[in-house]
Amino acid sequence: MVERNLSVSGKMINFRTNIGSIVRHLQEGGSQAVYVSLKTPFKVGEEVTHRLEYDAIDTFTETNESIAAKVFSKTKKTSIHVNFPEKRRPKNIHGFYLFNDEVTEIPEALQSHNNNRVYTLEFKNPKLGSKLLIEWDW
Protein backbone atom coordinates (compact mmCIF):
# COMPACT_ATOMS: atom_id res chain seq x y z
CA MET A 1 0.00 0.00 0.00
CA VAL A 2 1.32 3.47 -0.84
CA GLU A 3 0.33 6.80 0.68
CA ARG A 4 1.33 9.69 -1.59
CA ASN A 5 1.40 13.50 -1.70
CA LEU A 6 2.40 13.96 1.95
CA SER A 7 4.16 17.22 2.72
CA VAL A 8 4.89 19.68 5.49
CA SER A 9 6.92 22.89 5.61
CA GLY A 10 9.61 21.15 7.72
CA LYS A 11 10.61 17.48 8.02
CA MET A 12 8.45 14.39 8.41
CA ILE A 13 9.90 11.67 10.66
CA ASN A 14 8.82 8.62 12.70
CA PHE A 15 6.18 7.28 10.30
CA ARG A 16 3.77 4.81 11.94
CA THR A 17 0.82 2.72 10.74
CA ASN A 18 -1.70 0.44 12.39
CA ILE A 19 -2.04 -2.10 9.53
CA GLY A 20 1.52 -3.31 9.07
CA SER A 21 4.96 -1.79 8.90
CA ILE A 22 6.58 1.10 7.05
CA VAL A 23 8.83 -0.37 4.36
CA ARG A 24 10.24 2.95 3.16
CA HIS A 25 9.45 6.57 2.55
CA LEU A 26 10.90 8.67 -0.22
CA GLN A 27 10.62 11.97 -2.05
CA GLU A 28 8.36 12.04 -5.11
CA GLY A 29 8.64 15.48 -6.63
CA GLY A 30 7.82 18.01 -3.90
CA SER A 31 6.14 15.52 -1.56
CA GLN A 32 6.72 12.24 0.27
CA ALA A 33 5.43 8.75 -0.45
CA VAL A 34 5.19 6.13 2.29
CA TYR A 35 5.17 2.42 1.43
CA VAL A 36 3.35 0.14 3.89
CA SER A 37 3.70 -3.65 4.09
CA LEU A 38 0.41 -5.12 5.32
CA LYS A 39 0.32 -7.56 8.29
CA THR A 40 -2.16 -9.69 6.36
CA PRO A 41 -3.78 -9.26 2.93
CA PHE A 42 -7.13 -7.50 2.83
CA LYS A 43 -10.15 -9.69 2.09
CA VAL A 44 -12.75 -8.65 -0.47
CA GLY A 45 -15.42 -6.58 1.29
CA GLU A 46 -13.40 -6.30 4.51
CA GLU A 47 -13.63 -2.97 6.32
CA VAL A 48 -10.25 -1.66 7.46
CA THR A 49 -9.32 1.42 9.44
CA HIS A 50 -5.94 2.67 8.25
CA ARG A 51 -4.01 5.25 10.24
CA LEU A 52 -0.77 6.79 9.06
CA GLU A 53 0.94 8.97 11.63
CA TYR A 54 4.16 10.96 11.57
CA ASP A 55 5.94 13.68 13.50
CA ALA A 56 6.42 17.05 11.80
CA ILE A 57 9.64 18.82 12.82
CA ASP A 58 10.52 22.49 12.16
CA THR A 59 7.03 23.17 10.88
CA PHE A 60 4.14 25.42 11.91
CA THR A 61 6.40 28.40 11.25
CA GLU A 62 3.99 30.52 9.19
CA THR A 63 1.08 32.72 10.33
CA ASN A 64 -1.39 30.78 8.15
CA GLU A 65 -1.01 26.97 8.00
CA SER A 66 -2.91 24.03 6.55
CA ILE A 67 -2.85 20.27 6.19
CA ALA A 68 -4.69 18.25 3.55
CA ALA A 69 -5.42 14.65 2.58
CA LYS A 70 -6.39 13.51 -0.91
CA VAL A 71 -8.64 10.49 -1.51
CA PHE A 72 -6.93 8.00 -3.84
CA SER A 73 -9.14 4.95 -3.29
CA LYS A 74 -12.77 4.17 -2.55
CA THR A 75 -13.51 4.63 1.14
CA LYS A 76 -16.53 5.00 3.40
CA LYS A 77 -14.87 7.64 5.56
CA THR A 78 -11.66 9.65 5.63
CA SER A 79 -10.30 11.97 8.28
CA ILE A 80 -7.38 14.18 9.23
CA HIS A 81 -6.19 14.60 12.80
CA VAL A 82 -3.84 17.41 13.84
CA ASN A 83 -2.18 17.40 17.26
CA PHE A 84 -1.04 20.92 18.06
CA PRO A 85 1.88 21.75 20.36
CA GLU A 86 1.00 21.77 24.06
CA LYS A 87 1.66 25.51 24.45
CA ARG A 88 0.40 26.70 21.07
CA ARG A 89 -3.25 26.54 20.03
CA PRO A 90 -4.64 27.59 16.63
CA LYS A 91 -6.97 30.51 16.02
CA ASN A 92 -9.55 30.80 13.25
CA ILE A 93 -9.51 27.11 12.33
CA HIS A 94 -11.69 25.88 9.42
CA GLY A 95 -12.40 22.59 7.65
CA PHE A 96 -13.01 22.24 3.89
CA TYR A 97 -13.99 19.60 1.34
CA LEU A 98 -12.57 20.15 -2.17
CA PHE A 99 -13.75 18.45 -5.35
CA ASN A 100 -13.67 19.51 -9.02
CA ASP A 101 -12.44 23.03 -8.22
CA GLU A 102 -15.33 23.49 -5.77
CA VAL A 103 -14.43 24.35 -2.16
CA THR A 104 -17.06 23.75 0.53
CA GLU A 105 -16.54 24.74 4.14
CA ILE A 106 -17.79 21.97 6.44
CA PRO A 107 -17.75 23.40 9.99
CA GLU A 108 -19.98 20.62 11.33
CA ALA A 109 -17.29 18.05 10.38
CA LEU A 110 -14.48 19.78 12.31
CA GLN A 111 -14.26 18.65 15.94
CA SER A 112 -11.86 19.69 18.71
CA HIS A 113 -10.61 17.41 21.46
CA ASN A 114 -8.21 17.51 24.39
CA ASN A 115 -8.76 21.17 25.33
CA ASN A 116 -8.49 22.34 21.68
CA ARG A 117 -5.09 20.65 21.26
CA VAL A 118 -6.35 18.04 18.78
CA TYR A 119 -8.62 18.76 15.80
CA THR A 120 -10.28 16.15 13.59
CA LEU A 121 -11.91 16.71 10.20
CA GLU A 122 -14.00 13.73 9.08
CA PHE A 123 -15.97 13.21 5.90
CA LYS A 124 -18.15 10.24 4.88
CA ASN A 125 -18.22 8.79 1.36
CA PRO A 126 -15.68 11.16 -0.21
CA LYS A 127 -15.38 11.06 -3.99
CA LEU A 128 -12.20 9.79 -5.63
CA GLY A 129 -9.82 12.69 -6.16
CA SER A 130 -11.45 14.84 -3.50
CA LYS A 131 -9.45 16.46 -0.73
CA LEU A 132 -9.99 17.33 2.94
CA LEU A 133 -8.29 20.48 4.20
CA ILE A 134 -7.81 21.97 7.66
CA GLU A 135 -6.64 25.60 7.65
CA TRP A 136 -5.77 27.80 10.62
CA ASP A 137 -4.05 30.97 11.81
CA TRP A 138 -1.83 31.25 14.86
Question: Could you report the per-residue pLDDT of 83-126, keeping only the tens digit for each?
Answer: 888 888 898 999 999 999 999 999 999 999 988 889 999 999 99
pLDDT in tens, 65-94: 888 888 888 888 889 899 888 888 898 999
- CATH tag, 62-138: 2.60.40
HEC string for the chain:
CEEEEECCCCEEEEEEECCEEEEEEEEECCEEEEEEEECCCCCCCCCCCCCEEEEEECCCCCCEEEEEEECCCCCCEEEEEEECCCCCCCEEEEEEEEECCEEEECHHHEEEECCCCEEEEEEECCCCCCEEEEEEEC
Residue 95: per-residue pLDDT: 95
pTM of full prediction above 0.85: no
Domain boundaries, the chain: 1-59, 62-138
